[in-house]
Amino acid sequence: MIRVSQLTKQIPGGPKVLKGISFDIEPGEFVAIKGASGSGKSTLLRCLAMRESWTSGTYHVNGVDILGKGILGKIKIRREMAYLEAKPVLIKNRSALKNVLIGAVGQTPAWRRLTGMVRNDDYMGAMDMIEKVGLLEKAHQKGDKLSGGEQQRVAIARALVHGATTLLADEPVAGLDPHAAEQVLADLKRMCKIQGVTVIAVMHQGDWAERFADRIIGLNNGELVIDIKGRRLTEREKMLL
């Protein structure tokens, strides 16, 4: 379980961009974070990934006090949570399979990323995950030859192969055509249901959030204004965002 209590983020010498945010997220939930530009969506995601410092608040993951653990808390987050950017960074001249095996920055040692060396017994797990995201036929295609949607699915497979149980995705379908976007979101939804992966995604498009997420958290000017489970937003709720 992820438990956030009274998360506040203030820019030094500037305004508060997050104001007392609190929520719990259960394993296997698909949570969409919505809000207008500047509402604090991406900042919230980066705080969960420990890529932004917290001004105040408490943060527990499976009972562990992350902020209280200092550097050990950050290590736990980096090991168990994968931060997925809108445009995933793949090694362009490596195949999809190699990208999954080598891992992202922070997941694997630098020497392994530079040399591409992997253990033979890692291949089967990587191929299984590539198949689960529907890219088995593209396993040996180089990263720069993959479409945007395919690159995002490789990034998802890469994160899960290296032990992530939670995916923190910042606009995971931004810039993708509708078909590719549906494939990526369907992959995420399936992983939540079948593998118990937790997904927390900033999603600009309201329709995608309502169709695929189990729950929608809404921010307005750094404040939590809606927290809705299992249904579409009402017009009044949309107006709050």
Mean local confidence (pLDDT), 187-196: 89
- In this structure, what token pair is assigned to residue 154? 């490789």
pLDDT-derived band at 5 (thresholds 50, 70, 90) equals very high
64-65 β-sheet, strand order: 16-25, 2-10, 56-61, 64-65
How large is the C-alpha radius of gyration of the chain? Answer: 18
C-alpha 157/C-alpha 58 separation (Å) is 30
Look-up: residue for tokens 């506040």?
8
pLDDT in the model for residue 44: 97
Q: pLDDT (tens digit, 9 = 90+) per residue, 47-70? A: 999 999 999 999 999 999 999 999
Instruction: Let me know: does 104 contact 133? Beta carbons within 8 Å.
Output: no
Amino acid in the structure at residue 222 = G
C-alpha 64/C-alpha 71 separation (Å) is 13
C-alpha 38/C-alpha 15 separation (Å) is 12
Calculate helix-pair angle for 178-195, 148-161, nearest 10 degrees: 20
CATH level 3 topology of 28-37+80-240: Rossmann fold (3.40.50)
Which segments within 36-191 are labelled E, that is strand? 56-61, 64-65, 81-84, 166-170
CA distances from 146 to 91, 135, 149, 177 (A): 11, 10, 8, 14
Least confident range of 110-114, 131-135, 197-201, 224-228: 110-114
pLDDT-derived band at 121 (thresholds 50, 70, 90) equals low
Least confident range of 63-72, 92-101, 109-118, 128-137: 109-118
Mean local confidence (pLDDT), 22-29: 97
Least confident range of 9-18, 31-40, 87-96, 217-226: 87-96
C-alpha closest to that of 84 among 200, 219, 208: 200
- In this structure, what token pair is assigned to residue 112? 């392994």
C-alpha 85/C-alpha 168 separation (Å) is 9
Query: Between these two residues, 204 and 203, which has the higher pLDDT value?
Result: 203
3-class secondary structure, 156: helix
Percent helix, strand and coil across the chain, each to the nearest 5: 40, 25, 35
Amino acid in the structure at residue 109 = P
Q: pLDDT (tens digit, 9 = 90+) per residue, 132-184? A: 888 888 889 998 889 888 888 888 888 888 778 999 999 888 877 888 888 88
pLDDT in the model for residue 159: 83
Handedness of CA 168, 4, 40, 219 (dihedral sign): positive
What are the domain boundaries of the chain? 28-37+80-240
pLDDT in the model for residue 111: 43
Least confident range of 22-36, 82-96, 121-135, 158-172: 121-135
pLDDT at 104 over 60: no
